[in-house]
Chain A
Amino acid sequence: NAGVMQNPRHLVRRRGQEARLRCSPMKGHSHVYWYRQLPEEGLKFMVYLQKENIIDESGMPKERFSAEFPKEGPSILRIQQVVRGDSAAYFCASSPPSRADYNEQFFGPGTRLTVL
């Protein structure tokens, strides 16, 4: 059973460009979470999605950031008009419905975004 997959692993963008980060959850997992880890800090929750629904986006910046988890295909975290402060590691995690109450989330390897 393959783990959570994220791509790309490294992404370099210039200020003002768009960044699209992809996350494929583990097989059978319908819950996806995105976290951001700024340099020298712990991971911070951004958004929680289930198939075709955003459940909680309380950790998402109000502007430029959006997330989706379509019926088919991976979850996408999209950052428009990137700025240098967006440089961070972005982690995706997934969990199966039956274990969501226990919060055992399975994390991907992360995408390291660098904004020049």
Chain B
Amino acid sequence: DAKTTQPNSMESNEEEPVHLPCNHSTISGTDYIHWYRQLPSQGPEYVIHGLTSNVNNRMASLAIAEDRKSSTLILHRATLRDAAVYYCILSGSGGSNYKLTFGKGTLLTVNP
């Protein structure tokens, strides 16, 4: 399985943008890039996913590098409720693409 590398932790201030990086230099052409987050004592929550083009939804934006070896999750205005562990995950478009592999993720702290 292709691996991802994320910083262990990041810190942000409330109402400021947050850019969470993810490196995936061994990504294959058919791997989707997914982001999930996990709040304390809760199950993971889907945030966004993409393949090649940048993506926007109500929660966040996903910026994918042209060579697809890295991506950035962008929270446009962090709130205290965004404090969580953020996971960047790769999965193939077929076969066992349902098999999400969670790493250690990035612990995001949001300061009031």
**Which residues of A line the B interface, CB within 8 A?**
4, 31, 33, 35, 37, 41-45, 48, 56, 58-59, 91, 93, 95, 100-110
Contact = CB atoms under 8 A, between A and B. Distances in A.
Contact of B42 (A43, A101, A109): A109
B76 interface: no
Interface string B22-44: 00000000001010000001111
Given A4-B43, A110-B43, A105 B99 contact: no
B42 A110 contact: yes
Contact of A56 (B32, B49, B91, B99): B99
Determine the interface band of chain B, counting residues with CB < 8 A from chain A.
20 to 34
Given A103-B34, A104-B49, A109-B42, A44 B98 contact: no
A15 to B, nearest CB: 25
Contact of B46 (A42, A44, A100, A106): A106
Contact of B49 (A48, A100, A103): A103
Chain B binding surface SS class: loop
A103 B30 CA distance: 13
Interface stretch (B58-66, B67-75, B102-110): B102-110
A61 to B, nearest CB: 16
Given A105-B46, A107-B45, A109-B43, A42 B105 contact: yes
Contacts of A93: 43-44
Interface string B72-92: 000000000000000100010
A49 B101 CA distance: 17
Given A93-B43, A109-B43, A110-B43, A103 B98 contact: yes
Contacts of B44: 43, 91, 93, 107
Contact of B99 (A31, A48, A108, A110): A48
A21 B83 CA distance: 29
A100 B105 contact: no
